Chain A
Amino acid sequence: MEEKEKTSVMFICRTAPYGTIFEQEAIEAMIMFGAYEQDINVTFIDDGVFSLKKGQDTALLGKKNFSLTYPILIDDFDISHIYVEKESLEERGLSENDLITEVEIIDRNALRQKMNEMKAFLPF
């Protein structure tokens, strides 16, 4: 059978964790999409970058700590890239050392180019 070209999809995560359900349901979609052997990209911009901040402890909140999922996403699921926008980090006083896991830091200009290569966007 002829190999079909992969579909490039980009999750655009721009909301902070816990205040809304967006992060949780975005992760559920990422995990599911990872199983379909397509080109799945995840990008954190705006308040979305807070999802990757180290030191999250949700015990007092009574919710799952979703930040623990991202390292697994990279290692165990077939996500092509996890990008974090440099400008969004800087605006929020964050740097690479503040992040829970190794992700690709990308500047806004490069991200604009990447976006242009996508077939579909999933905003969260």
Chain B
Amino acid sequence: MMLHIVKKSPYESSALNNAINYIRQGDIMLLTEDGVYAAKKGGKFSNLINEVLQKNHVYCLLADAKARGILESEVIENVKLLDYKGFVEKVVEHNPMTWA
């Protein structure tokens, strides 16, 4: 099973779209760096994230969201915030592919 890491903003990169194209059942997605902007409620990509959430777990790196002023209350429901140790644990469980 794979961990799809999205680290560029969906507003400037096809990283999120690619991750979505290749995500399979049992795979998970992690939004990091500028990728965390995809986790913001009410943004253009929130519907897409909600679609992914129907079948897969989606995580967002806490440090990157906080740094960018994205508060926990502004993160799309069911997107779980992870600290770096949580990130490591997901990589232990899943094979990572980074979409930049």
Chain A residues close to B by CB (< 8 Å): 12, 14, 45-47, 87, 108, 111-112, 115-116, 118-121, 123
Chain A to chain B contacts (Cβ below 8 Å), 20 pairs: A14-B14, A14-B18, A45-B18, A46-B18, A108-B21, A112-B22, A112-B24, A115-B2, A115-B22, A115-B97, A116-B1, A116-B2, A116-B24, A119-B95, A120-B95, A121-B96, A121-B97, A123-B98, A123-B99, A123-B100
Determine how close the nearest CB of chain B comes to the CB of A73; give it in whole angstroms: 22
Determine how close the nearest CB of chain B comes to the CB of A50; give it in whole angstroms: 13
**B residues less than 8 Å from A87 (CB atoms):** 21
Q: Known pairs A108-B22, A115-B2. 20 more at Cβ < 8 A?
A: A12-B97, A14-B18, A45-B18, A46-B14, A46-B18, A47-B14, A108-B21, A112-B22, A112-B24, A115-B22, A115-B97, A116-B1, A116-B2, A119-B95, A120-B95, A121-B96, A123-B97, A123-B98, A123-B99, A123-B100
Number of residues on chain B facing chain A (CB within 8 A): 13
**A residues less than 8 Å from B95 (CB atoms):** 118-121
Nearest-neighbor residue (CB-CB) of A111 within chain B = B22
Nearest-neighbor residue (CB-CB) of A46 within chain B = B14
Q: Which of B22, B96, B99 has the most CB of A within 10 A?
A: B22
**B residues less than 8 Å from A12 (CB atoms):** 97
**A residues less than 8 Å from B1 (CB atoms):** 116
Hey, what's the 0/1 contact readout for B13-42 against A, CB within 8 Å counting as 1?
010001001101000000000000000000
**B residues less than 8 Å from A111 (CB atoms):** 22
